[in-house]
């Protein structure tokens, strides 16, 4: 399997992907990869104009994607009944950002989940915050930013670096040398971002405090603002789903279990918008 699955697993960490690529994809290996990529590009499916096509990595174990931002987009489209297609390609990231997910719409590439939704809001003329007050929009944005810009990095370092069991890496049959190189790249990125400067105990505490704040706000409500889910629920669910079901051997699963209402929240979101969840999971991630 080797490198392709590493790229699949950490494709939303572009610095580390580049580090692994420089170290591993040398000489003949690089040529083989590019020949494979060229074949895939020449056989790309052509969609009718107006089709929303979300490009992301292949389906992961336990969750429909190992990147929460793809889960966020798909959950929102399902919630609003917006037709979309998905393409799964471990070789193809956004030309603009080097990350996934990204959208192709009428031959135009749009990266970043938030900018994708903003573009579609204008293109399709729908309200991203339908039924929400200005106060709720402010609260929702604050919780989303906390989850996507802070909690996210806690689970990334937990899953890919701190987990001494290496269960995530073993799931993809990653060799020891590639694992070492990938971890080194991730550590560098997380040190630059800031989360990597903390001890494992501090990172666990940061994650727990984030989840505690969210748990206290949701309380006994079904969703963030009551009985009906909104765009912010989709973003928050993307992060929580990864922690709840795809922490592998990391501490994330035990942390979220400290907040039973968040576990129940995850189950409600899954049952409401992903009745086909089990069908969307790729269990054999070594192929």
Q: How confident is the model at residue 12 (pLDDT cuts 50, 70, 90)?
A: low
The answer to whether the predicted template modeling score (pTM) of the entire model surpasses 0.95 is no
Q: How confident is the model at residue 23 (pLDDT cuts 50, 70, 90)?
A: very low
pLDDT tens digits, one per residue of 111-131: 999 999 999 999 999 999 999
Domains of the chain (ranges; CATH) run 134-282 (1.20.1050.10)
- Which residues contact residue 110 at a Cβ distance below 8 angstroms, ignoring those fewer than 6 apart? 102, 103, 104, 116, 119
Residue 147 pLDDT: 98
| Residues 210/147, Cβ–Cβ less than 8 Å | yes
pLDDT tens digits, one per residue of 180-209: 999 999 999 999 999 999 999 999 999 999
Range 244-250 average pLDDT: 95
| Residues 223/265, Cβ–Cβ less than 8 Å | yes
pLDDT tens digits, one per residue of 26-70: 333 333 333 444 444 446 788 999 999 999 987 888 999 989 999
d(Cα 102, Cα 198) in Å, to the nearest integer?
A: 31
User: What does the chain look like in DSSP terms, one character per residue?
Assistant: -THHHHHHHTTT-HHHHHHHHHHH--HHHHHHHHHHHHHHHHTPPP--TT--EEEEPPPPSSSS-SSHHHHHHHHHHHHHT---EEEE-TT---TTTS-S-EEEETTEEEESHHHHHHHHHHHHT--TTTT--HHHHHHHHHHHHHIIIIIHHHHHHIIIII-TT-HHHHHTT--HHHHHHHHHHHHHHHHHHSGGGS-HHHHHHHHHHHHHHHHHHHTT-SBTTBSS--HHHHHHHHHHHHHHH--TTSSHHHHHTT-HHHHHHHHHHHHHH-TTGGGG----TT-
Q: How confident is the model at residue 171 (pLDDT cuts 50, 70, 90)?
A: confident
Range 245-257 average pLDDT: 96
Using a 10 angstrom Cβ sphere, with 0-12 exposed, 13-18 middle and 19 or more buried, the burial of residue 237 is buried
Query: Among residues of the chain, what percentage have pLDDT more than 90?
Result: 74
């Amino acid at each position: 399997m080797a490198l392709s699955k590493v790229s699949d697993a950490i494709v939303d960490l572009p610095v580390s992907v580049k580090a692994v690529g420089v170290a591993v994809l040398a000489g003949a290996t690089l040529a083989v990869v590019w020949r494979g990529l060229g074949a895939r590009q020449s056989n790309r499916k052509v969609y009718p104009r107006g089709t929303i096509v979300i490009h992301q990595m292949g389906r992961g174990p336990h969750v429909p994607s190992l990147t929460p931002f793809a889960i966020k987009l798909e959950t929102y489209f399902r919630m609003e009944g917006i037709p979309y297609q998905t393409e799964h390609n471990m070789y193809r990231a956004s030309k603009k950002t080097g990350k996934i997910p990204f959208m192709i719409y009428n031959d135009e590439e749009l990266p970043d989940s938030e900018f994708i939704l903003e573009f579609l809001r204008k293109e399709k003329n729908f309200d991203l915050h339908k039924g929400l007050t200005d106060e709720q929009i402010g609260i929702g944005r604050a919780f989303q930013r906390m989850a996507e810009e802070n909690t996210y990095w806690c689970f990334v370092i937990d899953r890919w670096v701190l987990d001494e069991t290496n269960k995530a890496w073993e799931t993809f049959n990653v060799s020891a040398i590639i694992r070492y190189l990938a971890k080194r790249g991730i550590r560098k990125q997380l040190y630059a971002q800031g989360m990597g400067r903390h001890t494992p105990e501090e990172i666990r505490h940061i994650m727990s405090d984030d989840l505690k704040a969210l748990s206290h706000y949701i309380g006994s409500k079904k969703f963030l603002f009551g009985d009906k889910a909104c765009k912010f629920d989709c973003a928050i669910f993307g992060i929580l789903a990864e922690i709840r079901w795809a922490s592998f051997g990391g501490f994330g699963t035990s942390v979220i279990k400290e907040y039973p209402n968040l576990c129940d929240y995850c189950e409600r979101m899954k049952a409401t918008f992903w009745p086909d969840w089990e069908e969307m999971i790729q269990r054999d991630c070594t192929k």
